[in-house]
Every structure is written in C-alpha cells, then in structure tokens.
Amino acid sequence: MDLPKMSTVKPRFRYQKPTVSSTCPNLLKQQFHSKQPNRIWVSDISYIPVKKGFVYLCVILDIFSRKVIAWNVYASMTAKLVCDTVERAVHSRNPV
C-alpha cells in the first residue's frame, strides 16, 4: 500500500512593530549604577527549556549590590509570576 507523501505547512511569523502606547520610557538611560541599596532594581524573565516545553524564570536584581534579591519559576508566563517575584523582593529587602 502506497501512502501519499504529505507534509505540513508552517505559517510564516509576521513581526508586528510595537505601538507607541506599548513602549515604556528608558528611565535608567544605560546608567546601571547606584550609590545606595534598594534604589534601583532591575528584572528579567528567561525561558528555560524542559522536557514538556518551557518554564519561566523571573529574577530581580539590586543594582547596588549586583545580587539576586528575589526569583520565581512558573510553568506559564503570567502577571502573577512578576507580581509574586516583586512581593518576594519587597519582603526580603523592605525598600525605602
């Protein structure tokens, strides 16, 4: 029995330029230094590949000490991931 030779067609990714309302102002202007702790915190979300897809790591760093002050790993990238990480940072540092 002959099987037909078929293949899937993947749709092309279409880049959408962000609108003006979705961009945030650059408050630091690449000046990543601080004279006091807890004045400037920066964060990032990283995708980590695992067997069943990805997990998402959210990290908050204090610019003064250059140390991680809070982090969380979630199975989905949601606002809750960021909010929980910020709450953890606030509880660990009690910023001014």
Chain centroid offset of residue 26 CA: 17
How far apart are alpha carbons 11 and 48 in whole angstroms? 24
Q: Residue 73 falls within a domain, yes or no?
A: yes
Per the CB < 8 A criterion, the answer to whether 47 and 15 are in contact is no
Task: Give the pLDDT of the chain (96 residues) as one tens digit per residue.
Answer: 666 776 667 778 787 776 666 677 888 888 888 999 999 999 999 999 999 999 999 999 999 999 999 999 999 999 999 999 999 999 998 755
Q: How many domains does the chain have?
A: 1
pLDDT in tens, 56-83: 999 999 999 999 999 999 999 999 999 9
Of 30, 92, 23, which Cα lies nearest the Cα of 61? 92
Q: Residue 35 falls within a domain, yes or no?
A: no
Give me 94's structure tokens. Answer: 């009690």
pTM, entire model: 0.70
Tell the residue number behind the tokens 């979300």, with chain if given: 45
Domain coverage including residue 60 = 43-96
Burial of 85 (0-12, 13-18, 19+ CB in 10 A): buried
